[in-house]
Chain A
Amino acid sequence: MSIKIITPVAEFAELLPQEYKDLVAHGPYNERRFVRDLGTFKEIVDEHPHCAGCGVALAIRLLAAALPSPADTLIVGTPGCSFFALIQTALNYSNTAFGNQNAVATGLKRMLEIRFPHVHKDVVVVAGDGGIADIGLDLTLHSWFRREKITTVMLDNEVYANTGGQESGMSRQGQVLNMAPRGKHFPKIPVFELAKVSGCVYGVRVTVASPHKVGRAIRNAILIARELGPTYVQVYTPCPTNMKFPPNQTLKVAKEAEKDHYSYEEFMSAEAAEYLVQSKAESKEM
């Protein structure tokens, strides 16, 4: 796919908004960009209405910078904090209903394979911990059981943030939250472990304190999903508003989580490992 198909006629070019012109001239569509290039190009998302210090907003910025093929990427999400930035991306984004994102992505991916058999259309689910691990867990797991070739990205802030700080299945045990007035009674749902046994061929658990690792995980996950099956990236995105820490402490909180309960971990199938080696070799040859 090429942006040339919507290149405006010369007579109208000057009438277009500056932001549009910047995206065409300096966006990530023509030239390959990555997380390390942030600050040097017009980003797919460069404004958002999130709270100051929002970990989710940072993760979405990293995700957008890491997409291997933004012109052919479609994101499916669910109501929650994540959509505040996702609706500002220069990508097609569908919000759909509560928790059904992996089912929507399944139908979408399959139809795009019918309509575009020779083009990789990357369908990426981006949703919060509530959407993926609670209300949508059934649909998440089943998309993995069926080996759907989609990437699922959980933005895990360990709380229902958008609705005002209620306990989620990914909240930490003992945490006092709305609807958990005596503290959460059970541990975080082991979605990362479930991904390993439910059919995902590649998975990474990471925090926003490691931006390059987030970018690499997203890119690998999308590339592997194209060929081999479902992939999963779980990103810790601390929430200063509901967890009551100063907005300028987000990365510090994430770094502490890395040392504590959110250590970096990656798994991949033998085929996925071979595919990554092969892809790197091919890109060096090019």
Chain B
Amino acid sequence: MAGLQREVDPEYLFWEAPRRQVFITGSEAVAEAVKRANVDMAIAYPITPQSESMHLVGDLYAQGYLRDYYRGENEFAVMAAVHGASLGGGRVFTATSGPGTLRAMEMFPVWTGSRQPIVCAFMCRGVSLPPSIQPENIEMAMLLDVGMLMFHAEDAQDFFDMILKAYAIAEQPDVHLPVGVFVDGFFVTHTRSMVALPPDDLKLPAYDPRRAPVPTFDMETPPIRMVRDPLLNKSNFISYAANASWHQEIAAAAERARKHIRRYMGGLLEVDDPAATIFLAASGTAVSQSREAIKVLKAGGIRVGLIKIKSIRPFPAREIAAATAHADLIVVPEFNIGGWLAREIKASIDNNRRVVGGPRVFGGMTMPTELIVNEVRSALDRSGTKQPGSGARI
């Protein structure tokens, strides 16, 4: 129970505490992370496929693990209330999906502009008409430039670890920015897999608002004329400068997060078989599909490495450039129609004609391994690269 939980160093909780394997859904992994995150308050609004996770977070509140929890009236209100709660100097959590993300869109730049270490889980899904509740991560493209840090989880284990570690990264005084932890809905949230969990009687140290780089909004130091938000008045050069410098500060804070991401998450990306000259580069569940495709390609004699991108913001541009310096081909499979990850990679490396953006699936379709295999082989055919097995279709 909550009262019996003991605060431990993040490092101990993340790496040293014994872990036991459990067979749980991604939604349950969210609750397990929140249980250990010493969250003060969570606010929820239902939307598929996020709802189950916030039900479970509500159960945690009923059991005493959180000090407050309620259902807001819509996602914009929830993100606003989370904003208010964070202004008040506590640790908060919420989650949403697809249309909820877009309904709440105005609040995400407000979180970043306020330098608030809110952690929000995004269970991505389709957003357009005709309606779809199915997996798709095009909403991530719409969040790339709101200023928050963005981590993309491959599976339930990633989801658990990234949510928990997101607090440790977000609350660093030199960062103090919101973190979105993303998964492809249903594929992760509604499937069971083995997840290694540390004991549930351990939790992160409480949030300490005195370490925040911006004043907590609790009126502890009157009299003070303190506007929490930079105000952009018309025809006022000082206001322009204040606002512009604040944007720069937020961008710089995101850059400063890199060292903490490396420390807590083992890097912004992972590379399998770095000596390969053909790579699949992916994030989220496209990584898992890429792993399967690589097995097929290797069986056919084609050596393919894997670049798993964990941090979308900040984007590991230098790391990708280094990992692909000697690569002839980089294929980027994605669960969205726009190909935002391929664009990011193309913008990060020289000779970006080496990048093939595809295959892409959307509207909730799965990504058969064959699609990826065929994309690699087609690209090799087009480039005239001689590889064992190239040209053959499966």
User: What is A's interface to B at a CB cutoff of 8 Å?
Assistant: 1, 3, 5-6, 20, 23-24, 27, 29, 44, 70-74, 76, 83, 87-98, 100, 103-112, 114-116, 121, 138-139, 142, 146
B40, B73, B86, B209 — most chain A CB neighbours (10 Å): B73
10 additional A-B pairs beyond A95-B229, A105-B84, A139-B80, beta carbons within 8 Å, are A3-B223, A24-B223, A91-B219, A93-B228, A97-B80, A97-B106, A111-B90, A138-B74, A139-B73, A142-B72
**Which residue of B82, B84, B222, B229 contacts A90 across the interface (Cβ within 8 Å)?**
B222
A-chain residues with CB within 8 Å of residue B16 when the two chains form the complex: none
A-chain residues with CB within 8 Å of residue B229 when the two chains form the complex: 94-96
For the complex, give the distance between the alpha carbons of A74 and B84 in Å.
11
- CB pair A108–B84 under 8 Å, yes or no, is yes
B-chain residues with CB within 8 Å of residue A103 when the two chains form the complex: 72-73, 76-78, 80-81, 84
Given the known interface contacts A114-B40, A115-B90, the answer about A104 and B222 at a Cβ–Cβ threshold of 8 Å is no
For the complex, give the distance between the alpha carbons of A90 and B224 in Å.
5
B-chain residues with CB within 8 Å of residue A89 when the two chains form the complex: 225
Counting chain B residues whose Cβ lies within 8 A of the other chain, the interface size class is 35 or more
* A123 closest partner in B (C-beta): B84
Given the known interface contacts A97-B80, A100-B77, A100-B107, the answer about A107 and B220 at a Cβ–Cβ threshold of 8 Å is no
* A112 closest partner in B (C-beta): B88
A87, A107, A138 — most chain B CB neighbours (10 Å): A107
B231 on interface, CB distance cutoff 8 Å: yes
Instruction: Output the least CB separation between B36 and chain A (Å).
Output: 19
- CB pair A87–B231 under 8 Å, yes or no, is yes
- CB pair A20–B218 under 8 Å, yes or no, is no
B-chain residues with CB within 8 Å of residue A74 when the two chains form the complex: 217-219
Given the known interface contacts A97-B110, A107-B80, the answer about A1 and B68 at a Cβ–Cβ threshold of 8 Å is no
- CB pair A93–B226 under 8 Å, yes or no, is yes
- CB pair A90–B106 under 8 Å, yes or no, is no
- CB pair B87–A94 under 8 Å, yes or no, is yes
- CB pair B70–A95 under 8 Å, yes or no, is no
Instruction: Output the least CB separation between B228 and chain A (Å).
Output: 4
* B84 closest partner in A (C-beta): A107
* A106 closest partner in B (C-beta): B81
* A27 closest partner in B (C-beta): B223
For the complex, give the distance between the alpha carbons of A112 and B225 in Å.
20
* A92 closest partner in B (C-beta): B219
B-chain residues with CB within 8 Å of residue A98 when the two chains form the complex: 106
Instruction: Output the least CB separation between B230 and chain A (Å).
Output: 9
**Which residue of A73, A88, A100, A110 contacts B219 across the interface (Cβ within 8 Å)?**
A73
Given the known interface contacts A27-B223, A107-B80, the answer about A115 and B89 at a Cβ–Cβ threshold of 8 Å is yes
13 contacts between A and B (CB under 8 A): A5-B220, A70-B222, A71-B223, A83-B231, A87-B225, A91-B219, A100-B76, A106-B81, A107-B41, A107-B84, A107-B86, A111-B68, A138-B73
- CB pair A92–B228 under 8 Å, yes or no, is yes
Q: Which of B121-139 contact A (CB under 8 A)?
A: none
**Which residue of B88, B209, B228 contacts A107 across the interface (Cβ within 8 Å)?**
B88
For the complex, give the distance between the alpha carbons of A44 and B221 in Å.
14
B-chain residues with CB within 8 Å of residue A72 when the two chains form the complex: 219
* A89 closest partner in B (C-beta): B225
Which 7 residue pairs across A and B have the least CB separation, nearest first? A107-B84, A111-B88, A107-B85, A107-B81, A100-B80, A108-B84, A104-B84
Instruction: Output the least CB separation between B231 and chain A (Å).
Output: 6
Given the known interface contacts A111-B88, A115-B89, A115-B90, the answer about A104 and B80 at a Cβ–Cβ threshold of 8 Å is yes
Given the known interface contacts A5-B220, A74-B219, A138-B73, the answer about A95 and B227 at a Cβ–Cβ threshold of 8 Å is yes
Given the known interface contacts A107-B88, A111-B41, the answer about A95 and B228 at a Cβ–Cβ threshold of 8 Å is yes
**Which residue of A23, A96, A111, A142 contacts B110 across the interface (Cβ within 8 Å)?**
A96
- CB pair A121–B218 under 8 Å, yes or no, is yes
For the complex, give the distance between the alpha carbons of A17 and B72 in Å.
43
B-chain residues with CB within 8 Å of residue A27 when the two chains form the complex: 223
A-chain residues with CB within 8 Å of residue B222 when the two chains form the complex: 1, 3, 6, 29, 70-71, 90-91
Instruction: Output the least CB separation between B111 and chain A (Å).
Output: 10
**Which residue of B107, B223, B226 contacts A23 across the interface (Cβ within 8 Å)?**
B223
For the complex, give the distance between the alpha carbons of A83 and B74 in Å.
25
- CB pair B90–A6 under 8 Å, yes or no, is no
- CB pair B227–A116 under 8 Å, yes or no, is no
- CB pair B73–A90 under 8 Å, yes or no, is no
A-chain residues with CB within 8 Å of residue B89 when the two chains form the complex: 111, 115
* A69 closest partner in B (C-beta): B219
Instruction: Output the least CB separation between A198 and chain B (Å).
Output: 12
B-chain residues with CB within 8 Å of residue A90 when the two chains form the complex: 222-225
For the complex, give the distance between the alpha carbons of A201 and B252 in Å.
47
B-chain residues with CB within 8 Å of residue A111 when the two chains form the complex: 40-41, 68, 84-90, 92
B-chain residues with CB within 8 Å of residue A87 when the two chains form the complex: 225, 227, 231
A-chain residues with CB within 8 Å of residue B203 when the two chains form the complex: none
**Which residue of A3, A92, A110 contacts B68 across the interface (Cβ within 8 Å)?**
A110
Instruction: Output the least CB separation between A162 and chain B (Å).
Output: 10
For the complex, give the distance between the alpha carbons of A83 and B227 in Å.
10
Instruction: Output the least CB separation between A136 and chain B (Å).
Output: 9
For the complex, give the distance between the alpha carbons of A44 and B74 in Å.
35
- CB pair A114–B80 under 8 Å, yes or no, is no
B43 on interface, CB distance cutoff 8 Å: yes
Instruction: Output the least CB separation between B117 and chain A (Å).
Output: 13
Instruction: Output the least CB separation between B13 and chain A (Å).
Output: 22
Given the known interface contacts A71-B219, A115-B90, the answer about A108 and B85 at a Cβ–Cβ threshold of 8 Å is yes
- CB pair B84–A106 under 8 Å, yes or no, is yes
* A98 closest partner in B (C-beta): B106
B40, B83, B106, B223 — most chain A CB neighbours (10 Å): B223
- CB pair B76–A110 under 8 Å, yes or no, is no
**Which residue of A3, A23, A76, A92 contacts B84 across the interface (Cβ within 8 Å)?**
A76
A-chain residues with CB within 8 Å of residue B41 when the two chains form the complex: 107, 110-111, 114
Given the known interface contacts A83-B231, A93-B227, A107-B85, the answer about A114 and B90 at a Cβ–Cβ threshold of 8 Å is yes
B-chain residues with CB within 8 Å of residue A109 when the two chains form the complex: 84, 88
